[in-house]
Structure 1
Amino acid sequence: MTDTRSGRDWTMLALVVLVGLNLRPFLAAPGPLLSEIVADTGLGYGGVSMLTLLPMFLMGVGAFVAPGLQVRLGARRGLLIALVVLLAGSALRLFVQDGLSLIATAAVCGIGVAFIQAIFPGIIKARFPASVPVVTGLYSATIMAGGAFGARLMPMLTGAGYRWQAALAFLALPVALALAAAWRILSDVRTGRPDGTLTRQLLRRPRTWGLMLSFGLINSGYSSMIAWLSPYYQSQGWTSGDSSSLVAVMAAGQAAAALGLPALARGNADRRPWLLLTIALQVAGFLGLAGFPGLAPVLWAGLCGAGLGGSFALAIVTALDHLPRPEQAGALAALMQGGGFLIAALGPYALALLHDWTGGFAAGWILHLGCVLVTALIYLRFDPRRYPAAMPIAG
Structure 2
Amino acid sequence: MSDRSEKASPILLAIAIFLVSINLRPAVAAIGPLVAQIIGNTGINSTVVGLLTTIPVFLMGVGAIYVRQIRAALGERGGIAIGVLIIALSCLARYWLPSGAGLLVTAVGAGVGITLVQSLMPGFAKRNFGGSTSRIIGLYSTGIVVGASIAAGTAAGISDAIGWFGTLAAWSAPALVAALLWGVSSRHATSESAVNAPAAGIRAPSFWRSARCWSLMVFFGVGTGAFMLAMAWIPPFYLERGVERSNAGLLLSVLTVVEAVTALGVAAFIHRFPDRRGPLVFSLLVTALGFIVLYEWPVELAYVAMALLGIGIGILFPLSIIVAIDHVDDPTTAGNFTSFVQGGGYILASFVPLFAGAVRDSLADLSRVWLVMTIGSLAMIVLAVRYSPESYRRFSASLRVTSTFSAAEATR
Q: Which amino acid aligns with 2:322?
A: V
Q: Which amino acid aligns with 2:262?
A: A
Match of 2:298 in 1: 293
CA contact (8 A) 2:80 2:121 kept: no
Match of 2:410 in 1: none
TM-score by length of 2: 0.91
Which of 199, 204, 210 is the equivalent residue of 1:198? 204
2:264 and 2:205 map into 1 onto residues whose CA distance is 30
CA contact (8 A) 2:293 2:305 kept: yes
CA contact (8 A) 2:17 2:182 kept: no
Which of 339, 343, 349 is the equivalent residue of 1:338? 343
- Give the Å deviation of 1:265: 2.8
TM-score by length of 1: 0.94
Please state whether the residue corresponding to 2:68 is helix, strand or coil: helix
Match of 1:180 in 2: 180
Q: Which amino acid aligns with 1:179?
A: A
1:74 and 1:187 map into 2 onto residues whose CA distance is 13
How has the CA–CA distance of structure 1 residues 235 and 59 changed in structure 2, closer, same or farther, with 3 Å as cutoff?
A: same
Q: Which amino acid aligns with 2:217?
A: M
Match of 1:117 in 2: 118
Match of 1:55 in 2: 56
2:280 and 2:290 map into 1 onto residues whose CA distance is 16
Matches within 5 A, 1:1-395: 5=7, 8-159=9-160, 161-187=161-187, 189-191=191-193, 192-193=196-197, 197-200=203-206, 202-391=207-396, 392-394=398-400, 395=403
Identify which range, 48-57 or 219-228, moves more after superposition: 219-228
CA displacement, residues 306-365 of structure 1 (integer Å, 9 cap, x when unaligned): 211211111111111112221222221111100000000010111122223433111000
Q: Which amino acid aligns with 2:61?
A: G
Q: Which runs of 5+ in 2 are unaligned?
A: 1-5, 404-412
Q: Which amino acid aligns with 2:228?
A: S
CA displacement, residues 7-38 of structure 1 (integer Å, 9 cap, x when unaligned): 61111101101101110111100111111100
Q: Which amino acid aligns with 1:290?
A: Y
Q: Which runs of 5+ in 1 are unaligned?
A: none
- Give the Å deviation of 1:298: 1.3
- Give the Å deviation of 1:294: 1.2
Aligned residues: 389
2:211 and 2:318 map into 1 onto residues whose CA distance is 21
Match of 2:408 in 1: none
- Give the Å deviation of 1:194: 6.0
- Give the Å deviation of 1:371: 1.3
Question: Equivalent pairs: percent with the same residue?
Answer: 28
CA contact (8 A) 2:60 2:343 kept: yes
CA displacement, residues 288-316 of structure 1 (integer Å, 9 cap, x when unaligned): 11111012111211211221121111111
2:142 and 2:192 map into 1 onto residues whose CA distance is 27
- Give the Å deviation of 1:207: 0.4
- Give the Å deviation of 1:368: 0.8
CA contact (8 A) 1:252 1:302 kept: no
CA contact (8 A) 2:262 2:311 kept: yes
Please state whether the residue corresponding to 2:399 is helix, strand or coil: coil
CA contact (8 A) 2:285 2:378 kept: no
Please state whether the residue corresponding to 2:86 is helix, strand or coil: helix
